[in-house]
């Protein structure tokens, strides 16, 4: 492949890029791949989840600005580019019955119109590979599910000049592969859980696995395991940069780094669409692309 390799990661909120596929992105950046994170919303309705920062009046009154600064710091740590699609966070409705979503939020946008913004980004950046969430959003946050919907439309729409005319959306371009992030999967969680117990250590994953069993959660196909253990520390630094969302003393960081690298040194993806021939399982998001052209 003589052309520059480009990877686009489409996420719902600032911090999602650091908790889903961050080590993969850092790995590809180190190899010279051009990586762009597209963030659909500003995370305006996100709560302050780090107990050390709860109740800070400045943060609560300026959450959009604060989260934008956190995103910029994480972007620099990962070495990626980043752009905002400019939609408004939908929040995570809670209660029974669930309250309606707020007017004007991302999840209530027209899917085709919202996808048009992403089509413009795809045609401008011209990524061979795009990553996003599956139809369940990874977890059922309305913004994650909407991110999935617009990415599916934009992936094929970017190559369709009739659906998205070039005079409005830019010169047509068809990405080659689309992946779903599947980093939070049962095999990985089980392997880490069992490794911790075997070493006489406490595992934070027991309740997770029990809930998954009770939910009879359907397992996704893990088609692609990207080796990226050398970039786990960068992943964690980027995640900690999102200080309003992540407690550096919290559960994200309870697993010793050396154990993670030894037991599960990859990040996982599900190949959802491909316009190139490839054989599964893969170990590279650009499998089938590097040798074409």
* pLDDT tops 60 at residue 1: no
Residue 76 placed within a domain:
yes
Residue 62's domain comprises 6-185+221-274
Residue 52 placed within a domain:
yes
Mean pLDDT of 194-221: 87
The reply to whether 212 and 75 lie within a common domain is no
The reply to whether 264 and 134 lie within a common domain is yes
Mean pLDDT of 265-283: 97
Does the annotation list 96 as a binding residue?
Answer: no
The reply to whether 66 and 203 lie within a common domain is no
Residue 288 placed within a domain:
no
The reply to whether 153 and 197 lie within a common domain is no
The reply to whether 119 and 11 lie within a common domain is yes
Residue 239 placed within a domain:
yes
What confidence tens digit (pLDDT) does each residue in 82-135 have? 999 999 999 988 887 888 999 999 999 999 999 999 999 999 999 999 999 999
Give the chain as a DSSP string: --SPPEEEEEESSTTHHHHSSHHHHHHHHHTT-EEEEEEEE--TT-----TTTTT-HHHHHTHHHHHHHHHHHHHHHHT-EEEEEEEPP-----SSSPPPPPTT-GGGS-HHHHHHHHHHHHHHH--SEEEE--TT-SS--HHHHHHHHHHHHHHHHTT-TTTS-HHHH-S----SEEEEE--S-HHHHHHHHHHHHHTT---TTHHHHHHHHHHTPPPPP--EEEE-GGGHHHHHHHHHH-TTT--TTSGGG-S-HHHHHHH--EEEEEEEEESS---SSBS-TTTTTTT--
pLDDT for res 292 = 65
List the beta bridge partners of residue 238: none
The reply to whether 214 and 155 lie within a common domain is no
> Residue 68 CB: number of other CB atoms within 10 A?
16
* pLDDT tops 60 at residue 13: yes
Nearest alpha carbon to residue 117 among 88, 84, 74: 84
Residue 286 placed within a domain:
no
What does the alpha-carbon distance between residue 171 and residue 88 come to, in Å, rounded to a whole number? 27
What does the alpha-carbon distance between residue 144 and residue 161 come to, in Å, rounded to a whole number? 27
Does the annotation list 13 as a binding residue?
Answer: yes
The reply to whether 30 and 106 lie within a common domain is yes
- 220 close to 180: Cβ distance less than 8 angstroms: yes
Residue 279 placed within a domain:
no
Does the annotation list 144 as a binding residue?
Answer: yes
The reply to whether 136 and 210 lie within a common domain is no
Domain CATH number, residue 69: 3.40.50.10320
Query: How buried is residue 19: exposed, middle or buried, by Cβ count under 10 Å (0-12/13-18/19+)?
Result: buried
The reply to whether 78 and 211 lie within a common domain is no
The reply to whether 245 and 207 lie within a common domain is no
Residue 197 placed within a domain:
yes
End residue of a domain, out of 174, 200, 219: 219
What confidence tens digit (pLDDT) does each residue in 36-54 have? 999 999 999 988 888 889 8
Comparing 145-154, 201-210, 273-282, the range with the smallest average pLDDT is 201-210
> Residue 104 CB: number of other CB atoms within 10 A?
10
Residue 292 placed within a domain:
no
The reply to whether 174 and 208 lie within a common domain is no
pLDDT for res 280 = 96
Mean pLDDT of 193-200: 96
The reply to whether 33 and 79 lie within a common domain is yes
How many structural domains compose the chain? 2
Comparing 9-13, 128-132, 214-218, the range with the smallest average pLDDT is 214-218
């Amino acid at each position: 492949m003589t052309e520059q390799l480009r990877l686009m990661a489409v996420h719902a909120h600032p911090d999602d890029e650091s908790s889903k596929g961050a080590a993969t992105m850092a790995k590809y950046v180190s190899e010279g791949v051009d990586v762009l994170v597209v963030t659909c919303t500003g995370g305006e309705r996100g709560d302050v989840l780090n107990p050390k920062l709860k109740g800070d009046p400045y943060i609560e009154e300026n959450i959009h600005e604060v989260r934008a600064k956190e995103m910029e710091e994480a972007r620099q740590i990962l070495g990626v580019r980043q752009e905002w699609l400019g939609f408004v966070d939908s929040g995570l409705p809670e209660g029974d019955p669930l309250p309606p979503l707020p007017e004007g939020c991302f999840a209530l946008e027209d899917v085709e119109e919202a996808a048009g913004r992403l089509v413009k980004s795809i045609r401008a950046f011209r990524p061979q590979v795009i990553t996003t969430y599956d139809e369940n959003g990874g977890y059922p946050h309305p913004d994650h599910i909407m991110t999935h919907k617009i990415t599916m439309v934009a992936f094929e729409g970017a190559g369709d000049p009739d659906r998205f005319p070039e005079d409005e959306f830019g010169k047509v371009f068809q990405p080659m592969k689309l992946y779903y992030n599947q980093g939070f999967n049962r095999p990985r969680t089980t392997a880490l859980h069992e490794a911790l117990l075997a070493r006489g250590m406490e595992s934070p994953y027991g309740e997770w696995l029990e809930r998954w069993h009770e939910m009879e959660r359907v397992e996704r196909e893990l088609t692609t395991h990207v080796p990226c253990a050398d970039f786990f520390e960068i992943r964690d630094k980027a995640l900690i940069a999102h200080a309003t969302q992540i407690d550096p003393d919290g559960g994200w960081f309870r697993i010793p780094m050396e154990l993670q690298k030894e037991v599960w040194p990859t990040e996982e993806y599900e190949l959802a669409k491909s316009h190139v021939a490839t054989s599964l399982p893969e170990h590279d998001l650009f499998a089938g692309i590097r040798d074409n052209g």
